[in-house]
Structure 1
Amino acid sequence: MGLTGPVLVVGTGLLGTSIALAARRAGLDVLLSDVSPEHLRTASGLGAGRPVADGDAPQLVVVATPPDHLGVAIAEALTRYDAVVTDVGSVKSAPLREVSERVGAEALERYVGSHPMAGSERSGPLAASAALFEARPWAVTPHPSSDPGAVELVSALASACGATVVTLPPEEHDRAVARTSHLPHLLAVLVAGRLADAPAAHLSLSGQGVRDVTRVAGSDPALWQQIVASNAPAVLELLSEVRAELDAMITAVSGGSREGLGVLLDRGVAGTQAIPGKHGGPVRATAPVFVSLPDHPGELARLFADAGVIGVNIEDVRIDHDPGRDTGLVELVVAEDSALHLAASLEDRGWVVHG
């Protein structure tokens, strides 16, 4: 079953509009629907597609509504259209249970859940981008009665949007996102919460570390209430594990046990090394090179250009802006065996490199 369209996107927020833009870029006819006339007008104005009309017959329906409304919206799409239906919610088991209670077995065969692992702290159609899914994982989560042709069609949509398809059962998907997305978000929220009423003198010492740890905590609280509630069993299991390790850390710190603290710190290092590396391969040995960056236009481009001339590939980059410094500190992450060469060559070109 080839994907020829039309594709109907129900919900024109960040994900829905981004999918619509990516599908349009792939040459597909896209129809749009949203309970918010303003969102629908905005998405249409961005070129994401045209509002769905009576008589339109989509080949594929993509439900991109908030988590609390997924089950109802999926069931309505299966009932209204003779089409394959997917959704892009971040939890798969709960919507599947609700849909199973609302539609018959024949209609359920046309439903295949999915979840693109891409997003932003921003929301709404104005935050959308056709490039949002490029090279990102897109989980496709067929249930036991999903029609193979429907699975193929949903996978084709993910590929058309530039994503990499990862096929998982719904329950396994929910355990995976609890570990890699939902738990990190909740822990970031707890850390960020310690800053809300902090004295200004404390906050003046903020560096890139606290920004890295708390970045995702700025996401929409109402949305995350829905996400966590719908994946409560998997999230609770992990929170219980963290609570046990937090108790162990409190015991180690209060008792002055460097050995006990070291065990936990070593486990954290092992966790960071378990995250897939560049292009999904094994983690490569890297080293940071810290460079002072004058805070005016063109300097970052000049730094990158010099690194290119030197012949060193930059694996990652971070910029730290301390409140008391009129320059930025750029951390260039490069292959470990290239770090000394890059540092020396940048100094030769007039850059201030920090050890």
Structure 2
Amino acid sequence: MSTSPMKQASTTQPDLLYSEAEDELRAAVRALLGDRTDLQATLAGMESGNPYDPALWQSLAADMGAAGLLVPEKLGGQGASHREAAVVLEELGRAMTPAPYLTSSVIATETLLALSGQTGPGGAAAVELLADTAAGRTVTVLAVPLSAAPGDELPTGPAVTAVADARIADVLLVARPDGLYAVRRADAELTPQLALDLTRPLATIATGDDTPGTRLADTATAGAAVRRGRLAGAGLLASEQLGIAEWCLEETVRYTRERHQFNRPVGSFQALKHRMARLWLEVVNARAAARNAADALANGSDDVALSVSVAQAFCSRVAVHAAEECVQLHAGIGMTWEHPAHLYLKRAKADELALGTPGRHKEVLADLVDLPAPR
């Protein structure tokens, strides 16, 4: 497998096709999720406030090794790249699997990778935590709002709101005025928050200066590391959004073939065929944007920030549109709690706000190409 992450700038042409190894990884992840993911169980878990399946996470993160895809082998990982991690996120999006992959295995892992090159105790602590995270022994979550864009400043107050997957984290990466600390979740005060997407719960994390923790980096180093983590998260979130859109389109096509009205499949009506054809074109374009972002991250392209913002600005809207069409074209049943369409719509809407809104990424694009956005 290729080595990971954003090490040196590359000017090679992007490769948007899936490799044989990536197809094999997809098949393995899809088989695992097909055997172990039950949307009805997910609904039941949401009602109880705990949608996570620890056994499934163990199988995916540790047994399959997916948690360490972005981590070089010498640091205890698989030595793969963002392209392979993108495939995992596509499948997690398709199956609507509640798992801390984006938060722990991408955002926190990339942050720790950026800190692992330091000399001194902070770098050593980062390397040790990175190895545990890559092996699936530890779930590490960056304690920042899920909505924070890559370029946002780190929150250094006593409480941080809207932290995703904090409930099942073992370690939190907490920003303080003097740098970034690794804090055990058990030592922090966690207050659950009401979230639109109940498959990715949010919480407020409160810590004080006297909360035990290990200092990983100073303020400047921490800021650069967190920006790298959130940039990778935003780029690979597009692949999760692609998986959502693909499931919604495929499920809608299947349903409209089976559902009859006036003695004909409703999918044969021209108006519906046109809507699904337009959606198919959007999904194809979203796949190109998501793959380009993953490839740019994997190869350290000079245009990585541009590729990520293009992917987020486009894929966010496509995922929401696909989920809306899925609900509408399923008619009455699409509005019920028992049908999973609402899970995909809620995740799509929540993802649209995560790691920077489409509007925020369009502003970034305008700055990158020196074309000021209208005010």
Return the index of the structure with the highest Cα Rg.
1
Instruction: Tell me which protein shows more strand as a share of its residues.
Output: 1
- Greater relative contact order, per chain length (Cα 8 Å cut-off, separation 6+): 2
* Fold-level similarity (TM above 0.5): no
Instruction: Tell me which protein shows more helix as a share of its residues.
Output: 2
With structure 2 as the length reference, what TM-score do the two structures score?
A: 0.27
